[in-house]
Chain A
Amino acid sequence: MCLGIPGKIIAITDAARLMAMAEVSGVRREVNVACVAGNDLEALVGAWTLIHVGFAMSLIDEDEAARTLEALRDLGEAQEALEQMAAADEALA
């Protein structure tokens, strides 16, 4: 819960609510980008972010994203985050 997971912003889905589609370890998940949004939302597309519980909290570079993901996989945290995303899909069904 306390460690963020890197995700790449691939599209803005709802500009009014500051929502975007992110790809996290091959899984797509809608996230809020309020904390990293500048004036031009579209500029976020292609950016790597650190995502905490569905909120992009920090912009990071691609190398940092790869290293963080590797550390999270070692800790089992990456798998846990992906399982939680899957569990949430179930909760919403």
Chain B
Amino acid sequence: MSAPSLKFASEFRDPAAAKVLLAAIARKADAIGATRAKPVHIMEICGGHTHSIFRYGLDKLIHDGVEFIHGPGCPVCVLPMARVDECVEIAEKPGVIFTTFGDAMRVPGHRKSLIQAKSAGADIRMVYSPLDALELARRNPGREVVFFGLGFETTTPSTALSIQQAAREGLTNFSVFCNHITVPEPIKALLDDPDMTLDGFIGPGHVSMVIGIHPYDFIAADYGKPIVVAGFEPTDLLQSVLMVLTQIAEGRAAVENQYGRVVPEHGNPVSLAAIADVYERRPSFEWRGLGEIDASGLRIRLRYAAFDAEEKFGIGYATGRRNVPEMEGCACGSVMIGKLKPTQCPQFGKGCSPEMPLGALMVSSEGACAAYWQYAGAREAAE
């Protein structure tokens, strides 16, 4: 196959480099016999990478023997409905100021989303940082300020450091509703799925900046799959795909770091120490579409229980009641593990759009469905 034409060349900061990488990927894909009928499946774990792939049309520009599978690395998208319900329950309690990242406002719950709860009168405020929630707690000593702690290892240090700070100041009206999750465990769950046909991974960049590259060792050592930690620029992603294909061509499986300019091999020691001080692993945590995954979520340690909203309000895992079903007709789960394309969901563009999301994958710009909606539709119209 010849090198694909660079239809979106003007979008690239360095179109010449992208062209060279695309040609090298094509040669490597041909060499290992990857074709449209029998493609190499590479999962980009991080939702930021999914967004970048669609934004630059990399899935179309790349050799058609390389198929991107969009992974579970969008924290808003994997948040189960039951947790949204619990957010609303906390937010509706008298005296509570519920603070959250804006991304989470429109995720549907069974009764309502946070934005609907806010319209109905709950004091819900969008903040940029848990530090804003801390400041609200200082300024409102008569109110209970709860921060919705959400995200992978990238945001976990921010809530850990905020809880440590609250403890140092002796704040008694600040707590975190902890929904922090970890990247390696769901990847292990995906690799253990007998239907899974992944050939390699693009590893998350900013998560790895915190945890380093060794938590992924098992992917290469135990499952024989290559993984390359990547940056977010289009040429970073293309170079990482080339590195994965090169490993496959050479019959190797290793953890490699394409994003060494930001990702230290052993991560960020201050962040890791704060996480270890404040959090411990839950026995399991529920993921939308993936179910309960062992040791994939964090909870606040007993010594910081005063800052744990689950303990303070007797909610969530503290109550032992779980297993709330997801919305009927929503195929987010199958899309999340790469079994369905977003457009194959019966609700895509019908019952579910970014304006009226039914499933979480349509809410966040890092969700595969929202990315398809935003970019693939416009692209098809242009073709």
Contacts and interface: CB of A to CB of B under 8 A. Distances in A.
The answer to whether A and B belong to the same complex is: yes
Interface of A: 1-4, 17, 29-32, 34-37, 50, 52-55, 57-58, 60-61, 64, 67-68, 70-72, 74-77, 80-81, 83-85, 87-88, 91-92
Secondary structure of the A contact surface, majority rule: mixed
Given A60-B262, A68-B232, A92-B136, A17 B165 contact: yes
Contact of B13 (A37, A53, A67, A87): A67
B144 to A, nearest CB: 15
Given A1-B155, A2-B47, A92-B135, A53 B129 contact: yes
B128 A53 contact: yes
Contact of A3 (B127, B157, B158, B232): B232
A77 to B, nearest CB: 8
A30 B134 CA distance: 13
Closest 10 pairs (CB-CB, A-B): A54-B129, A91-B125, A88-B128, A84-B128, A87-B126, A88-B132, A35-B270, A88-B127, A54-B131, A53-B129
B308 to A, nearest CB: 20
B155 A70 contact: no
Contacts of B207: 2
24 contacts: A1-B155, A2-B48, A29-B128, A30-B131, A31-B129, A35-B157, A50-B206, A50-B209, A52-B155, A52-B158, A53-B101, A53-B129, A53-B130, A53-B158, A57-B268, A58-B268, A75-B55, A77-B51, A80-B365, A81-B128, A87-B126, A88-B126, A91-B132, A92-B132
Given A53-B158, A75-B51, A91-B99, 20 more contacts: A2-B46, A2-B48, A3-B206, A32-B161, A50-B206, A50-B262, A53-B129, A57-B206, A57-B268, A68-B232, A74-B56, A75-B48, A75-B365, A76-B365, A84-B128, A87-B102, A87-B128, A91-B127, A92-B132, A92-B136
A4 B158 contact: no
Contacts of B256: none
Contact of B210 (A3, A37, A57, A77): A57
B271 to A, nearest CB: 5
A33 to B, nearest CB: 10
